[in-house]
Chains A and B, each alone.
Chain A
Amino acid sequence: MKKNIFVFIIGISACIAIFYLLYSTDKSIDQRSMTSPTKEKDTPTKVSSEDDIIKKQIHTLATNLEIPPDADKLFNDLNNYRIEISDLKKNLNKDFVKKYVKTQSKKIITCLKKDYCGTKPDADGYFDEFSTPGHILLSRQLRLLNAMLEDGDLSPDELDFSELVKFENKNILESSAELFIKSNPSESELGTFLDNSSHLEGSKKQAFYFKLIGSANQSQREILISNLSEDLKNSTPYSVVAFFQKISSLQLNEEELLVISRGGCQLKGENEVSWNSFSFNFKKYVAENSFSLLIDEVCP
């Protein structure tokens, strides 16, 4: 029995030792801390409820953007990112949304160009010049409009497309591409639109062209494929790579693939990493679609 008591005491001692070690380690970390640990404290400065504050904040924004009283709810909902666009469009009138987005998008474009609608870098220097709250608000407006409009519901001069494609925000670019095609542009209008977007690079160029090609009619599609091929010849290597990394979701015929792929030949030779990516994804697409193209024939 004495032995058992001895074992019990040893066990308890071990527990105490472990507790002490944990405590002392914890204490050593505390010494790194500049301030003492914060236990619950009442806020010294009592203010209105969060709901009141948020309503006031949205109201301030609405005043700055001159939101008419009948559009208050839509403005609030567009600023509430927890509301999906698919839910937002329910119970909304198409003409009302179109008029709203036409007016509001112009104002946001102006304020984004001026000073990113007042957005400043974070204290630690972080600043994404293509994803400020102004960009996100604009993209949500365009996505809503795009979700509500059918082909022909818009004309090319109703939105400022030449400015919209300057914003290198993927959602803005994708919505602008689809809305532009819905506006049934002429060949020359499409050409101008593409010229205005030639600065796009990498995954943004890919996303933009995917939406255009996916929405275009046959004659528009031919222009797009031809333009893209020329564009890729002078683009950054990643623009070619980004396009081919996603190509499996695009339905191209063999001739279209051939034309676009010529834009990737610039990578052959000095650019092994990008060439390997391009040729791998080219071969994969060829195999998946049972085409007979060979990379060495496309890029001799």
Chain B
Amino acid sequence: MSLLKKSICTLVMLNTIAAGASEATVPRVTALDRMMSTISPSAIIDAPLFKNTDEAKTKYGSEFVKVLIQETHKKAKFLLEEGNVKAYNAFMTLGLTVPLQEGLYLHIREINDSKGLCNDHSNSGNIIFAYTPEKLEEKYTASELEEKKANSKNYQFFVQNFKTGDNPFFPDCNQVENKDVIRQIIRGGDGTDMGAMQLSIRWHTENYFAKDGHKSLRKTFAYGLNYLMQGFKPLIYNFNSTSKTWEKRVECLRKIEKWHLFPSKRKYSIDYKNVVRGTWAGKYNSGNLNKTCRFADSRSPYKGHDEGFLKNLNKVLDIENLEKIGVFDATSFEMDESSREAYEQIVSNFKNETNNRDKIEAILN
């Protein structure tokens, strides 16, 4: 065999190994096991799937960010038309931050290293009543649990959204025990918040879960961002309202421009970083615009939530210095060139109050 032939043969062998590796078992991020619920193998999902290899994560992250930017722009583009570049940049930055805070930039993952992986406590909805089966057993007898379920609106919605029909979204675990490949959706600790935007089954069933929004990443972003916008718009447009209620609501969003001895004559401008923080703290995380300035209250019982959000916002704002973006190392991803450049341009525009658009526009098409 000539040297050339031998080399080709070796390359083919290595290629075969490499190809085999891409279909081979991939060790999952096990820390996510406690944040995930297994979904029906036959559910039709319109979302990139998170898989634990660098290559797959880059592909996943690029698509995730692309869809996120597209949907955020759809919601915010009217601000550009109104000539309010700062507000547009702020909402785009808010859009990049909330899914990092809420769902760790995850929605659905696919694993193949643990046949039939499924947590019955979560998939049955029992997690709504206690975090672990052991705690559930400590807290309730069977009849007490039955009574709890009969009176729980959360459980009613859980069943309505995920356990009904011929092909329930969350199957009983014995139905997936022979499956080599498992798909799971990210959920909150008590199983009532779902997906990339961590939307609550208690508050968002009618127009989101009942319409199967959770099966689509794009619909999830569209719904969650629309909800964010409902909190964002009143803050920026009522910033100069003379009503006492609104003065109090936006107090923490003010940046002094011109000081005067008489407070009523002082001039303020909008601090858009605080608008980002206040929109999440108020409407999105509290359900109440009166809680907008929660993040500025050092005695707030939700101080930890708001500090966590700030940490993630600062991470987004530091994108130019980060190779990967995510909450944990193992879930962080690199992005392809177009997603990364658009992401960086949004952040740069926000920080520098500019409206450079070429990289953003490139990803919108």
Contacts and interface: CB of A to CB of B under 8 A. Distances in A.
B363 interface: no
A91 to B, nearest CB: 21
A282 to B, nearest CB: 11
Contacts of A45: 126, 133, 136-137, 140-142, 145
Contact of A125 (B31, B155, B301): B301
A211 B49 CA distance: 42
Contacts of B302: 124-125
B288 A127 contact: yes
Interface in A31-63: 32-33, 35, 37-48, 50-51, 53-54, 56-58, 60
A40 B288 CA distance: 38
Given A38-B33, A270-B240, A245 B78 contact: yes
Given A40-B118, A53-B155, A127-B288, A277 B237 contact: yes
A236 B241 CA distance: 6
B137 A44 contact: yes
Contacts of B178: none
Contacts of B246: 236
A237 interface: yes
Interface in B149-172: 149-153, 155-156, 159-160, 163-164
Contacts of B140: 45
B133 A7 contact: no
Contact of B21 (A8, A15, A271): A15
A273 B13 contact: no
A126 B287 contact: yes
Interface in B106-120: 114, 116-120
A30 interface: yes
A87 interface: no
B159 to A, nearest CB: 5
Interface stretch (B202-210, B217-225, B336-344, B354-362): B202-210
A242 B232 CA distance: 12
A80 interface: yes
Contacts of A72: none
Contact of B10 (A4, A44, A54, A81): A4
Interface residues of A, number: 72
A41 B240 CA distance: 56
10 pairs of A and B residues whose beta carbons are closest in the complex:
A128-B287, A238-B237, A29-B31, A81-B210, A37-B33, A4-B10, A44-B137, A56-B150, A81-B206, A53-B149
Given A48-B146, A81-B160, A81-B210, 9 more contacts: A40-B120, A41-B133, A43-B120, A44-B133, A53-B150, A128-B203, A274-B240, A277-B237, A280-B82
Interface in B212-252: 230, 233-234, 236-241, 243, 246
B44 to A, nearest CB: 16
Interface string B274-290: 00000000000111100
A40 B133 contact: no
B164 to A, nearest CB: 8
A249 B243 CA distance: 29
Given A60-B150, A273-B236, A35 B29 contact: no
Which of A11, A37, A127, A281 gathers the greatest number of chain B CB atoms within 10 Å? Answer: A37
A79 B210 CA distance: 11
Given A7-B14, A11-B14, A203-B233, A41 B152 contact: no
B94 interface: no
A30 B233 CA distance: 40
Contacts of B17: 11-12, 15
B173 A40 contact: yes
Interface string A251-295: 000000000000000000011011011001100000000000000
A51 B164 CA distance: 8
B364 interface: no
25 contacts: A22-B53, A26-B30, A28-B329, A32-B31, A37-B34, A39-B117, A40-B118, A40-B119, A41-B121, A42-B120, A50-B159, A58-B156, A60-B150, A60-B151, A81-B160, A126-B203, A131-B287, A133-B153, A203-B230, A236-B234, A236-B241, A236-B243, A238-B238, A277-B84, A280-B81
Which of A40, A123, A280 gathers the greatest number of chain B CB atoms within 10 Å? Answer: A40
B34 A35 contact: yes
A63 B237 CA distance: 45
B185 to A, nearest CB: 15
Contacts of A28: 329-330
B133 A43 contact: yes
A4 B28 CA distance: 32
Interface string A10-25: 0110010001001101
Contact of A54 (B7, B156, B205): B156
B31 A57 contact: no
A30 B13 CA distance: 35
A29 B328 contact: yes
A82 B210 contact: yes
Contacts of A82: 160, 164, 210
B116 A40 contact: yes
A191 interface: no
Interface string B26-40: 011111011000000
Nearest to A36: B34
B301 A57 contact: no
A127 B330 CA distance: 33
A70 interface: no
Contacts of A56: 146, 150
B260 to A, nearest CB: 14
A223 B193 CA distance: 45
